[in-house]
Structure 1
Amino acid sequence: MSRSRPETETVPKAEGLRLRARLRYLYHGSSPLAVRFRLAVIVVDFAIIGFFLAAPILREAGWAFYVVDAIVAVALMADLTGRALAYTDIKDWLKKPTTWVDLFILATLLFPQSLYNFGFLRMLRLWTLLSSDFFWRTVGRRFDDTRVEEVTRAMAALVTFVFVATGFVYATFRNDHPGLTGYLDALYFTVTTLTTTGFGDITLPGAWGRLLSIIIMLTGITLFLRLAQTLVRPHKVRFPCPVCGLQKHDPDAVHCKACGETLCIPDEGHH
């Protein structure tokens, strides 16, 4: 004779399923409530990024900085937990590179003393946010073309690199040069090196300093070129081809360039 499961075992399981369903509705739904929730999360994200940007200066405030650091850690942990539970398969969620970047950022918040030298990597949060489907499904859902998204992603990559490089220079070479004593000095060096202006008033010592300067210059030029390409690239719209799956086409395209399938792309008046 089969035994029925105790009620104490089924109730927590049912509550867990309801919680995941609720989170999936908020993080992936299209209702006004879900969109407002995601907009609120994005606003909090930008506030957290602002804290990361000012962290090198705010760190001098002493214990107050670590209080805010702990609050940000709780907020980021809650957000990542919610995203993980809202995902259909958590294993697939963990396979995303952006997930591991966010988890490492969380680790720097949970262990600010031991991971102090890696704090500059927190600015990668800007890149993970503006490169996420979560952001574009919420903020960019009304865009019919891909230009705004591509330009924003390119700018996010450039800005993120500038501040990550600045943080690395500040944490590694601070006080190794008479002119490099503060975060603003590190930002000035990064921008002048990235733009290949090279005034020479601040230089990094040793072979590693020269190597880092070369990396900043080459990466900066690459990111600038990518941004320029997105600005001058012909206008495209996102409209998947029903046959070959090609995602982007010219706004007035009648046939798919890849397979020749007839397309019926709605114009702006029908959106």
Structure 2
Amino acid sequence: MDDGPPKKTELRTGPEALRERLRLLYHGRSPGALRFQYVVMVVDLLIVAFFVASPLLREHPSFLWVDFSIAALLALDITARTMASKDIPHWLRQPTSIVDIFILVTLLFPLWLANLGFLRVLRLWSLSRSGMFWRPLVRRGYGPWREVVQSAVNLITFLFVVTGFIYTFFFREGSGFAGYIDALYFTVTSMTTTGYGDILLPGPWGKLTAVVIMLAGITLFIRLGQAIFRPNKVWHPCPQCGLQRHDPDAVHCKACGNMLNIPDSDD
């Protein structure tokens, strides 16, 4: 009669203990948690570098091995972050989570979804929105640069996603590294509306692609300029209305007038 309850308690508390441990690693501020977050950040950046170069590496014999290895790492990371979340359904509905799951699917089926491989660079965008990415940086005083960095990442992500798209659908056949450089060159000249005209995409779809790149490029450049030159703000969500950006010396929220308690940047 005494053997039943302890087993049930162990089964009930085991997963919860694991979730609490993962929550401390992904969201904690202890030295061990910060070291773990830095390691994850470095691994994520290396994975993004592979995604940027993947259009060129697709024909390499070891590509599939690297692809499936990264898929295993990403699946492990997604599973761990899901378990660390306090509200799993809400976490799974977040745009960053949807992007990461989509990237995992392209990694698990690289041959079937080869033409969508260029979208893996979106991992850089989801990484820049991750609280785990910014938490250790904010602790080191880089919080005021958050909006600038995110705007720059938006621009860089768009640049390499479009470059991968153009390379995949317009330059891929036998073009190799030179074709990728041509795709990158065309993307940059279109985004900046320089338009030298020495490289053109064929057909009406090529022209429409160039138009989209030009319009989106101008928007992203303007957004980056605004983030750099407008007055500095700090990220501190208002507990009343949720407004996140405030003046560093703000005492009351500009939106609702609620009293704020913004910590000093040196804390």
Normalising by structure 2, report the TM-score: 0.89
Equivalent of 2:166 in 165, 169, 189:
169
Which stretch shows the higher mean deviation, 232-241 or 126-135? 232-241
Does the Cα contact within 8 Å between 1:169 and 1:186 map onto a contact in 2? yes
How far apart are 1:249 and its partner, in Å? 2.6
Q: Deviations over 1:216-253 (max 9, x none)?
A: 00000000000000011112223455655543332344
Which stretch shows the higher mean deviation, 77-86 or 51-60? 51-60
Partner of 1:115: 113
How far apart are 1:21 and its partner, in Å? 1.4
Partner of 2:201: 204
Partners in 1 of 2:264 and 2:138 — Cα distance?
Answer: 18
Mapping of residues 1-271 of structure 1, within 5 Å: 5=4, 10-62=9-61, 64-143=62-141, 146=144, 148-174=145-171, 182-241=179-238, 244-260=241-257, 271=267
How far apart are 1:258 and its partner, in Å? 3.3
How far apart are 1:262 and its partner, in Å? 6.0
Partners in 2 of 1:25 and 1:188 — Cα distance?
Answer: 44
Q: Deviations over 1:43-90 (max 9, x none)?
A: 10001011111112222322x111111111111111111000111121
Partners in 2 of 1:84 and 1:98 — Cα distance?
Answer: 12
Partners in 2 of 1:104 and 1:261 — Cα distance?
Answer: 40
Matched to 1:102, the amino acid is D
Matched to 2:124, the amino acid is L
Q: Note the residue ranges of structure 1 that are not aligned, 5 or more in a row.
A: none
Q: Runs of 4+ in structure 1 displaced over 4 angstroms?
A: 2-10, 239-245, 259-268
Does the Cα contact within 8 Å between 1:189 and 1:202 map onto a contact in 2? yes
Normalising by structure 1, report the TM-score: 0.88
Matched to 1:99, the amino acid is S
Partners in 2 of 1:242 and 1:167 — Cα distance?
Answer: 42
Q: Note the residue ranges of structure 2 that are not aligned, 5 or more in a row.
A: none
Matched to 1:138, the amino acid is P
Cα-Cα RMSD: 2.8
Partners in 2 of 1:264 and 1:92 — Cα distance?
Answer: 27
Q: Deviations over 1:193-234 (max 9, x none)?
A: 111111111111111111110000000000000000001111
SS of equivalent residue, structure 2 residue 138? coil
How far apart are 1:137 and its partner, in Å? 1.4
Which stretch shows the higher mean deviation, 65-74 or 151-160? 65-74
How far apart are 1:28 and its partner, in Å? 1.2
Partners in 2 of 1:128 and 1:218 — Cα distance?
Answer: 23
Does the Cα contact within 8 Å between 1:23 and 1:82 map onto a contact in 2? yes
SS of equivalent residue, structure 2 residue 140? coil
Does the Cα contact within 8 Å between 2:134 and 2:143 map onto a contact in 1? no
Matched to 2:155, the amino acid is L
